[in-house]
Chain A
Amino acid sequence: MIDLLGYGAFFLSTALIFGLVTLGLNLQWGLTGLFNVGIAGFVAIGAYSSAILTTPDTADRIGGFGWPILAGWGAAALITAAAAAFTGYATLRLKSDYLAITTFGVAVVVQLVALNAQGLTGGPFGVAFIPRPFAGVQDQSVLFNFANVAVIAAVTLAVYLALERLSRSPWGRVLRALREDERAAIALGKSAQSYRIQAFAVGGAVMGLAGAVQAHFIGFIAPENYLPTLTFQVWAMLMVGGSGSNRGALLGAIVVWAIWVGSGSFTAAIVPADLQARAASLQIVAIGVMLCLILLWRPQGFFGSGRRTK
């Protein structure tokens, strides 16, 4: 029973971290219509930033700054926002597809840096000994898991409330106006490019924060945490939840993560060991097909309000 509770807390922590990333994507895509295919890259930037700033000194890697965890999280959000702002600056005055292609490139390059710049990122072995919140009670796993899920839920709630407020503010109204009718918004004197860069940067900051929170929750990061599958998962979460709705984004994250974990352990239980890699790729096929079906039949998602005018 205690184990089950502990596992529930662990599951919820992971799902909420996904929910954070999905909230960031919802600001970029749901509210502003910016297509980001490099989610994994931005999450990785946040994770590595915070990890490098907070870990103790290591022999063959830059580090030893020993920042407190909260400062690391803040820095992660800022650094990721800067990376997103630059990506937006380079592409948002051009056609919308160029942003998609460039974010795809960002993910490729971040993965490459994570793997190869050993002096910065630790290379394929990643970064270990990332300080975990409540490390003092680490051996009491239930208490530890519950303390962590409380912190993560608090962060998620804070980001959720902030985003809700932002999207109702005049700033959020401009973003919606730009999405629905760009010419009308420009005619009112709103600079489309500058608002879009801001939205992309804020969304990036949320993704970076999510990456940092996860890094400190697990205590260890490596390049293979940030493969394109992560990007796909987050997109599936947003599409299931319904783009444009922050509540939908969170619900979608929890539902899709539950399906993912459930189907994963189901195949692990019934498929023989030598075929598990194949079964895992079928899981990804299913997500891809689901994404396409939702786009075809229910573009507003399952929990979305469906009030999109376009």
Chain B
Amino acid sequence: MSLQFLLDGLIAGAMIGLGAIGVTLTYSILRFSNFAHGDFMAWGAYAALAVVGAIGGSLPMAPLSFGWPLVLAMIVAMGLTALLALGLDWVLFARLRARGQSIIVVMASFGASMALRSLLEFMFTSRPTYFSRAIQIAQPVGLGIRVTADQVALLLLTLALVIGMHLFMQRSQRGREMRAYSQNPALARVVGIDVAKVVRATWIIGAALACASGVMVGVLVQIRPLMGLDLLLPIFAAAILGGIGSVPGAVLGGLIIGLSEAAAVQFVGAEWRAAVAFVILMAVLLVRPMGLFGVAER
């Protein structure tokens, strides 16, 4: 038996985990499950693709399939995706949130997700595209596992982003404010936390991480308008499995789902991969709805 599926699962889990951080923060701070989050990933990936195209060609950095233009493009695209999220919040979500019915906001995110996704299909067609068509040779690293330079680089990037996010949430003033607001909005207002800034930070972080995750999917797999929709269920499942509001929980949930999916591909059959997230989701909801690191609703 090959242990390759462990590495595949780890990488899939990293992408799911990055997406789940945004979902879990939106849910715990803005109090709604954002169905458009997957489309932030797709828009981020296409934004990076457009920026790479604008910068023009350059040689890839030795073992990697991409060069500095993609690194630069990803940073620009993270900003653009954050702008998209902020714009959507300004036009749509903030107005509906002010009316106080959270489920209406969920519905709006559902409509927005459909519009965003189909707009991508309109602009770029549904045909998949790639950052690079070069073929990478996977190097054996023992135990029958092979890994490409891209995979190592992106795993390290995920690790850096997750550690950075964790430090930000735990140590920085804004991070503390975000946690305080998610635990008790009324009390947070009373002690003078600027809610508008908390909301803005939530969208920027969520969208930027979604973009990073989308670019990763683009580098390692492919870019399609539906890529976000396909990852939406694993992302939600990861956020709920980890416990809503918990950043480490979202990442751990992502890894568990990614590894389970890879195991399902190995032992059951690749066609059932997408069902794994649903099975885990149902199990969590029936057995431990607060998730691994969640706190019971007060």
Assuming the A-B contacts A94-B289, A97-B103, A105-B281, are A288 and B233 also in contact, with contact meaning beta carbons closer than 8 angstroms in the complex?
no
* Set of chain B residues within 8 Å of A104, measured between Cβ atoms: 35, 232-233, 236
* Set of chain A residues within 8 Å of B141, measured between Cβ atoms: none
Min CB distance, B20 to chain A, in Å?
Answer: 12
Assuming the A-B contacts A278-B121, A284-B114, A285-B119, are A97 and B289 also in contact, with contact meaning beta carbons closer than 8 angstroms in the complex?
no
Within 8 Å of chain B (Cβ to Cβ): is A37? yes
Chain B residues 3 to 51 lying within 8 A of chain A, measured CB to CB, are: 27, 32-33, 35
* Set of chain A residues within 8 Å of B108, measured between Cβ atoms: 291-292, 295-296
B274 touches A112 (CB 8 A): yes
Within 8 Å of chain A (Cβ to Cβ): is B252? no
Assuming the A-B contacts A292-B111, A296-B95, are A102 and B102 also in contact, with contact meaning beta carbons closer than 8 angstroms in the complex?
no
Q: Which of A95, A101, A287 contacts B297 (CB 8 A)?
A: A95
- Of the four ranges (under 10, 10 to 19, 20 to 34, 35 or more), the interface on chain A belongs to 35 or more
* Set of chain B residues within 8 Å of A105, measured between Cβ atoms: 233, 236-237, 277-278, 281-282
Assuming the A-B contacts A96-B103, A97-B102, A105-B233, are A282 and B111 also in contact, with contact meaning beta carbons closer than 8 angstroms in the complex?
no
Min CB distance, A62 to chain B, in Å?
Answer: 18
B95 to chain A: closest residue by CB:
A296
Chain B residues 64 to 102 lying within 8 A of chain A, measured CB to CB, are: 92, 95-96, 101-102
B283 to chain A: closest residue by CB:
A90
Q: Which of A33, A90, A112, A277 contacts B275 (CB 8 A)?
A: A112
B114 touches A97 (CB 8 A): no
Min CB distance, B15 to chain A, in Å?
Answer: 18
B271 touches A90 (CB 8 A): no
Within 8 Å of chain A (Cβ to Cβ): is B220? no
Would you mind naming 5 contact pairs between A and B with Cβ atoms under 8 Å apart?
A: A97-B27, A281-B118, A281-B122, A287-B115, A291-B111
Q: Known A-B contacts: A90-B282, A284-B115, A285-B122. Give 18 more (CB < 8 A).
A: A90-B286, A94-B285, A97-B32, A97-B33, A98-B289, A101-B233, A105-B278, A109-B274, A115-B271, A228-B114, A228-B229, A235-B107, A277-B125, A277-B126, A281-B126, A282-B122, A287-B115, A289-B111
Report, nearest first, the 5 A-B pairs whose CB atoms are least far apart: A288-B115, A291-B111, A288-B114, A284-B118, A281-B121
Chain B residues within 8 Å of A, Cβ to Cβ? 27, 32-33, 35, 92, 95-96, 101-104, 106-108, 110-116, 118-119, 121-122, 125-126, 229, 232-233, 236-237, 240, 271-272, 274-275, 277-278, 281-282, 285-286, 289, 297
